[in-house]
Amino acid sequence: MKGFLAYLWIILGSLLYSVGLNAFIAGNNLAEGGFVGIALLLYYKLHILTGVTFFVTNIPVLFIGWRFFGKAFIAKTIVGVVAVSAFTVLTAHFAQPVHDRLLAALYGGVICGGGLGIIFRSGGTTGGVDVLARIARHFWGFSMGRIMFASDVVVIAVVALVLGKETAMYSLVALFVASRVIDYVIEGVSSSRAAMIISEQAVQIADRIHADMGRGTTFLQGQGGFTGESKQVIYCVVARDEIVRLQQLVRSVDEDAFVVLNDVYDVLGEGFSR
């Protein structure tokens, strides 16, 4: 996403994240990882507003990110940090206490993950450990995923000491659910399958796919590892509800064909999303 629309999505994602954070995470005394987790701990113990702590702790991080990566990189991060900080303060009264804390963790994980996924998909971040992890990767080659995971582990460990092991476990559930939802938002929920078909009758199979299913195909050149013979490999993408039809079509032409199916995400082009 580019331009104004990307910033608008970052703001909307920040609003959704803040509502989930206050309504179900903070509203049920759960915690988060990273800088938000630290802000929540200070809120529970010292009654400092989560948004205020989150913004203040991000100021040096934003300055460091600007020095190392420049204005272009940090602009969307600043919007994300400011929006999350402001909306977290404005929605502080949105608490929705739930009798079952597991449900609170699930609701919080889904809503927060959806908000973060929108922010990340729009090219923004919420600052904090994300920026520090990018710096560590840039200068020392450290894995961003490992750094962010390690920071979450440290914060959750502190949560276990301060708020109890039960709260820490429910918080981990919320973190896990949020991470999965983020992946779905960024990558898309798979509704398509990619097929690779190896057959001695590749041309005939491709012609049937074109005529009977209205799907395009691509020929890839392959070579048998055992026989050393050259082979044509058909590559095509079909909707999930067309998988059985494709398998039947291939078998009707060549019962010995080798077919591999994989989930694919965000398919763009004719017959799919544009």
Per-residue pLDDT of 105-149, as tens digits, reads: 999 999 999 999 999 888 888 888 888 887 887 788 777 667 877
pLDDT of 269? 74
pLDDT in tens, 210-242: 999 989 999 999 888 888 888 899 999 998 878
The arithmetic mean of pLDDT across residues 79-102, rounded, is: 93
Tokens representing residue 265 in the block = 């995400």
User: Given pLDDT bands bounded at 50, 70 and 90, which one contains residue 202?
Assistant: very high
pLDDT at 145: 62
Tokens read off for 82: 């400011």
Domain coordinates in residue numbering, the chain: 3-187, 192-264
- Give residue 122's pLDDT: 87
The mean pLDDT of 8-24, rounded to a whole number, is 96
The class level of CATH for 192-264 reads alpha beta
**Highest mean pLDDT of the ranges 72-81, 203-212, 262-271:** 203-212
Q: What would the pLDDT profile of 56-85 be if each residue is shown by its tens digit?
A: 999 999 988 888 877 777 898 999 999 999
The pTM for the full model equals 0.78
Q: Give yes or no for residue 1 having a pLDDT over 60.
A: no
Which of 114-123, 188-197, 246-255 is the most confident on average? Answer: 246-255
Q: How many residues does the chain have?
A: 274
